[in-house]
A and B are shown apart, each in its own frame.
Chain A
């Protein structure tokens, strides 16, 4: 009896954690299941009959694929712009002293702390007051705006974790300022920039609230889903949802596995080579 209660005392937290993870994954499982569903009618959300049709023919409703494509375009442009602007700012913040630093930090922090609703409505107010026609490019402008801060934070973290002596060592070894940047700084910061770009793309691709206020008649994928929710969801939406999940999961698993293999190799090396005492 006491052994059971001790086991329970040690493992109940993990048990709760796994239940919560189950809660987090339940809708994903439903989305995946519904992607194989032939719905009984357009407004039904229940599982009716197994079919592979949705996967065989994901663009049966062509509006939806257009919307996915448009989201990808917007995401791409917004990601490139936000990554460029944010990376430059991160370099300035991490590497230079200048006046107005704290003010700038507030300017970067506030968009992340402001409710999306307010970001969206305020931009709409500006565009309407300025007579700017709403559409593809107003969405891009809005997405760049809310992605920049996330890029700055991500790249800055990577930059400030970098050992400044590496750059000094490069200069000591005859690398000019530009060569130092090109050969040392950039390659070492690149993982941070890539992570920031991936984050920016996923934020942009999935954004609904801000887009909703600034899209005019342009339909992105989330906008399409929103509209379809009133009229009846085509099952292909679940195909897109499942595919997104699978692609992103594979990407993440691949990078973590690669990271782990590199770490394990690094740990094992001194043992294998072990010439000078095997300290690592």
Chain B
């Protein structure tokens, strides 16, 4: 009975306390790529630990290792089932349904999110084809609107869109820096990371990990894209571009989704901070990989 309790405790820790710590961790903004990986690791860990905990609870008398091996051998995937071990029955299959549902729930939502986003992008592209003007010199599409905005449509029909207002307020170099930022999103396939956290938060609504992972991944991918733009353009250029885009817009008093993140990004662009030490970096990466494996060891250990 200790194993399922340990697994439940681990899942609860990963689902509630770990996200609070990671959201406050100072290193995350200095190594945003690693931090994104850490959030993904926490989500995988939560799913694995929860699925194993449920499996253990419904199958307390039978050791999980036997059950898993029995299941695999029933599917013809594993030939080394212990001789004389339990023969899988229909009942075993039913018992596996509950933990399998925990695994399939976020996967199903992910497929749905990706599909919905693709359809929404296609609608957007259809309209864009009618009202946008191609600007081959920037490898972008220009939209005739007074508010400055720059965004990208990722995926197969990738495209960067710039409004007329943005062209008016940004200098040539500022515009190039922002375009570089958007291309980083496209090439890094950040939309898939957004879809993953979105799927996770729909599969486990109300879970602190889900809320934090979604918020933080959104902010961290922006920081990754900022860093990429800073490789080719100066800090001053990118920071000024942010302010010009923000202040050129029609004021919207009752809106506040990106404000806190925008300020964090700006401060980070202006005041560079060193990346974490190589040893710290390796340690964090190792912890990210080890976290989802730990429940498997606990469940299959002696």
Binding between chains A and B: no
Residues of A within 8 A of B (CB): none
